[in-house]
Amino acid sequence: MASHIVGYPRIGPKRELKFALESFWDGKSSAKDLQKVAADLRSSIWKQMADAEIKYIPSNTFSYYDQVLDTTAMLGAVPMRYGWTGGEIGFDTYFSMARGNVSVPAMEMTKWFDTNYHFIVPELGPDTKFTYSSHKAVSEYKEAKALGIDTVPVLIGPVSYLLLSKPAKGVEKSFSLLSLLGKVLAVYKEVIAELKATGASWIQFDEPTLVLDLDSHQLQAFTEAYTELQSSLVGLNVLIESYFADVPAETYKTITSLNCISGFGFDFVRGTKTLDLIKSGFPSGKYLFAGVVDGRNVWANDLDSSLSALKELEAIVGKDLLVVSTSCSLMHTAVDLINETKLDSEIKSWLAFAAQKVVEVNVLAKSLARGLDEGDMLITNGFFVNSNAAQDSRKSSPRVTNEEVQKAAAALKGSDHRRATAVSARLDAQQKKLNLPILPTTTTGSFPQTLDLRRVRREYKANKISEDDYVDAIKEEINKVVKLQEELDIDVLVHGEPERNDMVEYFGEQLSGFAFTGNGWVQSYGSRCVKPPIIYGDVSRPKAMTVFWSSMAQSMTSRPMKAMLTGPVTILNWSFVRNDQPRSETCYQIALAIRKEVENLEAAGIQIIQIDEAALREGLPLRKSEQAYYLDWAVRSFRITNCRVKDATQIHTHMCYSNFNDIIHSIIDMDADVITLENSRSDEKLLSVFREGVKYRAGIGPGVYDIHSPRIPSTEEIVDRINKMLAVLKADILWVNPDCGLKTRKYAEVKPALANMVSAAKLLRKELASTN
């Protein structure tokens, strides 16, 4: 029985890629140094899979930033503003598209389906010229081959690439991106020809948009694309890989009818209904790549359950045509559990990271094989014994269940959890206390995380400095951030979050039911890595989490100080979540814990409390039929956190790097007093919903500049952005703020950018005053 891995984490077990990228961007190392780190990581990954006897090992899943940007480079689809003149695309152009540079902004960044991974959105139009401009897929195949490892080159499929793109600036929004299919396929043919010439026998096309609700025109594009590629694919085995959800029935029928495709990969973890489609008919002689090992979560596979499902599939497609696989790329999980030397041993026994999931795939494949020798049989049986023990341990462990928490969550049902007063009346009550100017300025939370600050936190965790020394150091940093904001004349201040490495990790560490890893890093985009907490049991808040720091910060200034919390939906979506109860139940438990914190902050005299829900849109199910249910419990969870505060307490929330337009009514239903949203990097796409007539009556702050780029916006540029907002939003509800938090930037970038932001707000206040 054969085995396959869809993709693998590329950051390295100790974030080697992150540090190499940042060193290169800071000018401390050369391109050759970066390439060497990348080559070592790739070599290690391929050898690891080869040692685990994986038959179909992927290549070209490594990326310096993201795989969609790699495809843009392959196609030579570089927007004109980057000044690329042709030839093989180098780091300068590549990273300018990803991050911007001193003269031009970056391309839009958004979430990869319903994950916390981000991709750079291609900008295309009728005049886009496509040329084969990055030979990365071929060079990585050759690189693996030189190591004696034959791999399966992986490409983002041509149809998904176009469906994930957007019309370039100046191109009509109604422009059909699929009209570019013929031009794009011409480059794909060149890539395929070169891969064939180098000896590739398989090629994997990732077509994740197959799980979406596609119309007939979009479905027809898949038929047209692979029919057009058919002659080029002669002599190759071709795998179409889908993931993250069920494939709709009509889509299944379309793709399984394609003659040039040798195998189909399906997600059987999040796509449980796909099994019914396969039972109703699967094309004879085709391979089925069965994604039964979860690539999105960290729980050890229930090997008995997976083996039962595989045997059912084997009876349909045949022993020789069934391939055991992961549900999706393993890049969405942590790298290797072996690095977790301090994790609780019982909880550790319940887990599997990417390296362990590769082994699980191999064990399942061997279990289905016939004629194993006695040694392999003993080893395989040992894995099953351990798997059953881990499953039983999780089910019976007393640390998983808290009856008091479950009763409190159950009691939430039957209430809408809304604040008693309408938002307009609340805003009036808040303004009487806050006395803010028109177009109030603020930031969305974090300030730069300096090396000294990171060192202090690290030393405190390692018990190398006392708690008093730690508090003094954080207090000094908060004071510096407060003074800077006062000097810049920002209206509503933040404390800068110097005590937090990560907005989810910080809260999870103080909530029960969470476990934390030492090296469980997952790539979010480029060099940005997060370490998601693991929710293994019922969630509660033993003690206050932020009141001390927020009260300290407020005591340093007479201006309003925002307390900063992470909302329940974002904590949920940015964690590895227990899979033994509905996600909604876990979210309600987190909401109750955050509500206690909100009420403690209010009692401590904090007048503005921000409850970030950056990931609310991210968790939206990919299929429309499932979205209303999710939005109902997600929005309700947010309202639970703050439904009991006084009218004069102002509740903010923040969202970023997703498409909010299609959930704007759910955002309104959250009933926050003020919402700040990413806006500038996505070309002010958010504003279009207001142009179309959506009425927003609460406070709103669409971001006025992109914080993920080192570029400093001018005052004039920010004035122009605010004027666009004033064209569709009333001045008395508009706030002025950056797109997102500032932790990834340097103070040399933050200070002038915020100064220009405040100057822009003041200029427009004068203009507004003169017209009234």
Question: Catalytic positions, please?
Answer: 708
Fill in the amino acid letter for 482. V
**Would you state the structure tokens that stand for residue 277, as one six-digit string?**
């489609």
d(CA 84, CA 507): 44
Give the separation between CA 76 and CA 93, rounded to whole angstroms. 11
- Residue 768 in tokens: 């507004």
Nearest CA among 417, 322, 60 for reference residue 203: 60
Q: Please give the backbone phi and psi of residue 756, each rounded to the nearest 5 degrees, phi first.
A: -65, -35
- Rounded CA separation 403/182 (Å): 60
> In angstroms, rounded to a whole number, what is the distance separating the alpha carbons of residues 431 and 734?
13
CA dist 31 and 607 (Å) reads 49
- The DSSP 8-state label assigned to residue 638 in this structure reads H
CA-CA distance, 553 to 481, in Å (whole number)? 9
Distance CA 85, CA 213 (A): 38
Of 531, 629, 633, 519, give the one whose Cα is nearest residue 587: 633
CB 214 within 8 A of CB 251: yes
| Other C-beta atoms lying within 10 Å of the C-beta of residue 75 | 28
758 backbone φψ class: left, alpha, beta (φ>0; ψ -120 to 50): alpha
Proportion of the chain in helix, strand, coil states, percent, rounded to 5: 45, 15, 40
424 and 647 Cβ atoms separated by less than 8 Å: no
The Cα–Cα gap between 444 and 738 comes to 7
- Torsion angle of C-alpha atoms 332, 338, 344, 349, degrees rounded to 10: 80
Question: Closest Cα to residue 93, out of 105, 103, 107, 83?
Answer: 83
From the CB of residue 278, how many other CB atoms can be counted at a distance below 10 Å?
A: 20
Give the burial class of 559: count Cβ atoms within 10 A of its Cβ; 0-12 exposed, 13-18 middle, 19 or more buried: middle
Cα-Cα end-to-end distance for the chain: 77
Residue given tokens 């987190």 in the structure block: 590
Instruction: Measure Cα distances from 424 to 560, 690, 696, 698, 726 in Å.
Output: 20, 18, 11, 7, 19
The residue among 223, 211, 232, 120 whose CA lies nearest residue 181 is 223
H or E element that contains 512: strand 512-515
Q: How far is CA 230 from CA 185, 224, 321, 346, in A?
A: 11, 10, 21, 52
Give every CB contact of residue 414 below 8 A, 6+ residues apart in sequence.
Answer: none
How far, in Å, CA of 236 to CA of 201, rounded? 5
Please give the Cα distance from 598 to 642 (Å, whole number).
7
Q: In which region does residue 435 sit, left (phi positive, over 0), alpha (psi from -120 to 50) or beta (all else)?
A: left
Residue keyed to tokens 């900008």: 123
Mapping DSSP to helix (H, G, I), strand (E, B) and coil, where does residue 58 land? strand
Instruction: Look up residue 114 and give its two tokens.
Output: 């319903």
Is there a contact between 596 and 629 (Cβ–Cβ < 8 Å)?
no
Name the 3-class secondary structure at 96: helix
